[in-house]
Amino acid sequence: MATPRLRTRKLSEPTIARLPVYQRIAEGWARGGLNRIDSQQIGELAGVTATTVRRDLAGLGSFGTRGAGYDVKVLSERIGEALGHDREYDVVVVGIGNLGRALVNSSNFLIRGARLAALYDVDPEVIGTRVAGQVVRPLSDPIAPATVGVICVPAAAAQSVADRLVGADIHALLNFAPQVLTVPIGTAVHYVDFSIELQILMYHLNNGTGPLGGGLLHSLGIATPSALRVP
Amino acid sequence: MATPRLRTRKLSEPTIARLPVYQRIAEGWARGGLNRIDSQQIGELAGVTATTVRRDLAGLGSFGTRGAGYDVKVLSERIGEALGHDREYDVVVVGIGNLGRALVNSSNFLIRGARLAALYDVDPEVIGTRVAGQVVRPLSDPIAPATVGVICVPAAAAQSVADRLVGADIHALLNFAPQVLTVPIGTAVHYVDFSIELQILMYHLNNGTGPLGGGLLHSLGIATPSALRVP
DNA sequence: GGATGTGAAGTAGTTCACAGCC
DNA sequence: GGCTGTGAACTACTTCACATCC
């Protein structure tokens, strides 16, 4: 046990993006009192084929039961392990406007090991107020140690905030500002851009790529004929 | 001119997701007073290879200049045409909490032909207030005609809202609730899930897929060595 | 019987490498 | 010289089809 070995073989990018969806489905069934689900059902709910589901899950090891599908509890756990949900990590959020507030108050954002470490803003009206159990600090304060920095400021301020975060030794950024960021090698930046989603939807509507056009990453979930409702 | 022909050949899904990024880069340069950009520069800023950029843009027709790159103005226009930015379309937003408010007030959400048609909520405190120039209506009101419905309600309410929107003949939904939706065939649902972004970031950090791990759709933009700052 | 897990085949997307043009 | 645009090679992902096991 020299190096902390990966517990699964390397997963493909599309697979990684789908696993959280499968996990949510599994949890929904578990909450509904059901305890088994098969790849067909997962596929319909996630908007992908049953084969894709099996291929994805096979990458986490063989824990399905032939003839009976997957135990929702085990399924959920295995996905959690693969994605590293057992590890906790700190998140700082910069920019406590509507979006920042929406994120930190959302029951869906800071989950799976994410822990809110600190909030920052530049607006004196906002600084000092309590949001999501944290007092908002001035951006001029030292940045708290964290693993991930979330940027929810206007585009014009995004780069300087990114510089601050990188300077504070944060090497993973989630940027909600419509602004391409320049960061040193070794720092990962993921962009979330709402308008792009709308644009993709409209492209398909305009070009009649049709009802079945969608299909990648966030676009998971063009409904299939018999999609089942999560109980 | 029988059928309204597509003005470009069919674009691949990854290409469609990258075009808005290129367009933003082009606009940034245009604002900065520059008027030419080459595939290498676009690639560095977007976090993809120069070849990918050229392949993507070649799909829109040949408008680059050999030896000199692309005219940022033309580039921006061509992308706009390909994505159908000349067409206007109506958007209704259901759920005017922090997130809904952040979206409609964002200078980056309702752009490129999107027009806000109406806002809905169920909270009496919110109904009747003005947000983004619109009076928030009760969800019990008839849904205004629109092309796209945006769902920003809690997960538990998302399905019934989707049903309302589909019933109002809206066949493109953008769902921000962490809830898989059941809709009739012919309706496109795109999911935007903030927590998935964090989970993907963490997977790569945990598994040392390393600085260069990222790379699809929203994950565009792992910084490259000499990424240039948009002027 | 019924569903998983997986080689093999197929498809889509990316990258190489260079001819063509400015 | 420099950069685009693209056939050809490659790589990655998905789907088929079926042997395998409960």
Cβ of residue A9 lies below 7 Å from strand C: no
User: Would the CB atoms of A111 and B197 count as touching at under 8 Å?
Assistant: no
d(CA B8, CA B81): 9
User: Would the CB atoms of B184 and A91 count as touching at under 8 Å?
Assistant: no
d(CA B36, CA B33): 10
- Which nucleotide C1' is nearest A17 CA? D13
Query: What is the mean predicted confidence (pLDDT) over B124-136?
Result: 95
User: What is the predicted pLDDT for the residue at B230?
Assistant: 31
- Which nucleotide C1' is nearest B42 CA? D3
User: What is the predicted pLDDT for the residue at A193?
Assistant: 85
Chain D nucleotides with an atom closer than 7 Å to a protein C-beta:
1-6, 12-17, 20-22
From chain B, pick out residues whose CB is under 8 angstroms from the CB of A218.
190-193, 196, 217-218
- Which nucleotide C1' is nearest A57 CA? C5
Ramachandran region of residue A137, left (φ > 0), alpha (ψ -120 to 50) or beta? beta
User: Would the CB atoms of B188 and A205 count as touching at under 8 Å?
Assistant: yes
User: What is the predicted pLDDT for the residue at B180?
Assistant: 79
**What's the half-sphere exposure (Cβ side, CA atoms, 13 Å) at A166?**
17
Q: Please say if the pLDDT value at position B1 is more than 60.
A: no
User: What is the predicted pLDDT for the residue at A209?
Assistant: 55
Mean pLDDT (chain B, rounded): 84
Chain C nucleotides with an atom closer than 7 Å to a protein C-beta:
1-6, 12-17, 20-22
Domain A13-85+209-219 CATH (choose: 1.10.1060.10, 1.10.10.10, 3.40.50.2300, 3.30.70.120): 1.10.10.10
User: What is the predicted pLDDT for the residue at A52?
Assistant: 97
Q: Which residue is nearest to nucleotide D3 (CA to C1')?
A: B67
User: What is the predicted pLDDT for the residue at A219?
Assistant: 33
- Tens-place pLDDT, residues B2-14: 333 344 668 999 9
Instruction: Give me the residue from B83, B109, B211 closest to A194, CB to CB.
Output: B109
What are the boundaries of each domain within chain A?
13-85+209-219, 89-192
Q: Which residue is nearest to nucleotide C16 (CA to C1')?
A: B51
User: Would the CB atoms of B205 and A188 count as touching at under 8 Å?
Assistant: yes
- pLDDT band at residue B47, thresholds of 50, 70 and 90? confident
User: What is the predicted pLDDT for the residue at A117?
Assistant: 96
B75 and B49 Cβ atoms separated by less than 8 Å: no
Burial of B167 (0-12, 13-18, 19+ CB in 10 A): exposed
User: What is the predicted pLDDT for the residue at A223?
Assistant: 32
CATH of domain A89-192: 3.40.50.720
The reply to whether domains A13-85+209-219 and A89-192 share a CATH topology is no
Cβ of residue A51 lies below 7 Å from strand C: yes
User: Would the CB atoms of B105 and A98 count as touching at under 8 Å?
Assistant: yes
From chain B, pick out residues whose CB is under 8 angstroms from the CB of A85.
199
User: What is the predicted pLDDT for the residue at B88?
Assistant: 92
User: What is the predicted pLDDT for the residue at B208?
Assistant: 66
Q: Please say if the pLDDT value at position B107 is more than 70.
A: yes
DSSP three-state, residue B36: strand
pLDDT > 90: what percent of chain B?
Answer: 61
User: What is the predicted pLDDT for the residue at A3?
Assistant: 34
User: What is the predicted pLDDT for the residue at A231?
Assistant: 28
- Which nucleotide C1' is nearest A215 CA? D14
User: Would the CB atoms of A223 and B190 count as touching at under 8 Å?
Assistant: no
- Tens-place pLDDT, residues B157-212: 999 999 999 999 998 999 999 887 888 877 888 888 888 888 988 888 887 654 33
From first to last of its 231 residues, what are the pLDDT tens digits of chain A?
Answer: 333 334 566 899 999 999 999 999 999 999 999 999 999 999 988 889 999 999 999 999 999 999 999 999 999 999 999 998 888 999 999 999 999 999 999 888 888 889 999 999 999 999 999 999 999 999 999 999 999 999 999 989 999 999 999 999 998 999 999 887 888 877 888 888 888 888 988 888 887 654 333 332 233 333 322 222 332
0.85 exceeded by pTM: no
Instruction: Give me the residue from B180, B202, B219 closest to A221, CB to CB.
Output: B180
User: What is the predicted pLDDT for the residue at B216?
Assistant: 28
User: What is the predicted pLDDT for the residue at A77?
Assistant: 95
Higher pLDDT, B94 or B222: B94
User: What is the predicted pLDDT for the residue at A217?
Assistant: 29
